[in-house]
Structure 1
């Protein structure tokens, strides 16, 4: 598997065209406290609960699609890791306003956002460890496989993208960032 020059444009487009939405999402209360070095275990639990509320319905929508084995979708499901961190005593609220995942390009755009979060999770894991906060199973992502899983995803994405579906992939990624941001910022 190698990324062809003509298809690398989807990765460039995604990085470029989702930049503003990605930056807006990162301005949430949890990230600001983490960056300032004032993160608490309670803020981490609140943030993880919000992430679960988005990931669980996202993963439920993913399960409605058939993926070739190379996508390793079963390994890409991570909502259960949040439950390991939180061990909730009651049901966590779920996001009622999810991005649509009806088409293959919509799925690819949303996956770009959620798979990309595994990279940021590596940084968050280190910061939580420094703060002595143990609830970081979810943020560990795929552990040592995080880099290879991301590269594999990028490879598969570039192979699946074409001139006809790139705009829809990008729009789905932007909408996923926006919906996630709105959900996380909701009290």
Structure 2
């Protein structure tokens, strides 16, 4: 059993084994412009539309599975928040190449990626505010509940991870990062 200061094995594995894919994803044009303090509303809208195109089919896959109430799945749906940030009638193509989400470990791996993105959204919200860009509903997400929801997710993930399914969880998280990266970088 892990001590309080030590992360459970599954979280350590996910962090270390998905790091290259996480880092690659963060090198997209939107994040580069944001980091340079040169992000525009148009770039933000483009990025949000891309995220919507990935999240909408992802959330449809989640809805095909049964989760216990502890997972707060309805609260973890966030694609609808993007619509408040986009101009009316924005084109919203859907990603045709989603990672497989048929098994429980595959769902856990994908959830790790997309739930983890809520933490980054908090940072992006502050950067967009500094740039004077109002499109922040999605990135603000669950506001002050973001941290507690993430911690609860990590606790549930740790409870569900076994020696037999850890590799599949990590593989799914890695593939989810890769598929999202490919979709965001697709013209």
Task: Return the TM-score normalized by structure 1.
Answer: 0.96
Contact 2:49 2:91 in 1 (8 A): no
Question: SS of 1:85's equivalent?
Answer: coil
Gaps of 5+ in 2: none
C-alpha distance in structure 2 between counterparts of 1:5 and 1:171, whole Å: 23
Q: C-alpha displacement at 1:87, in angstroms?
A: 4.2
C-alpha distance in structure 1 between counterparts of 2:111 and 2:159, whole Å: 14
Q: C-alpha displacement at 1:88, in angstroms?
A: 3.3
Equivalent residue number for residue 64 of structure 1: 64
Equivalent residue number for residue 86 of structure 2: 86
Contact 2:81 2:137 in 1 (8 A): yes
The size of the alignment, in residue pairs, is: 184
Gaps of 5+ in 1: none
1:43 aligns with 2:40: no
1:143 aligns with 2:143: yes
C-alpha distance in structure 2 between counterparts of 1:96 and 1:49, whole Å: 14
The 5 A counterparts of 1:68-147 are: 68-89=68-89, 91-147=91-147
C-alpha distance in structure 1 between counterparts of 2:24 and 2:75, whole Å: 28
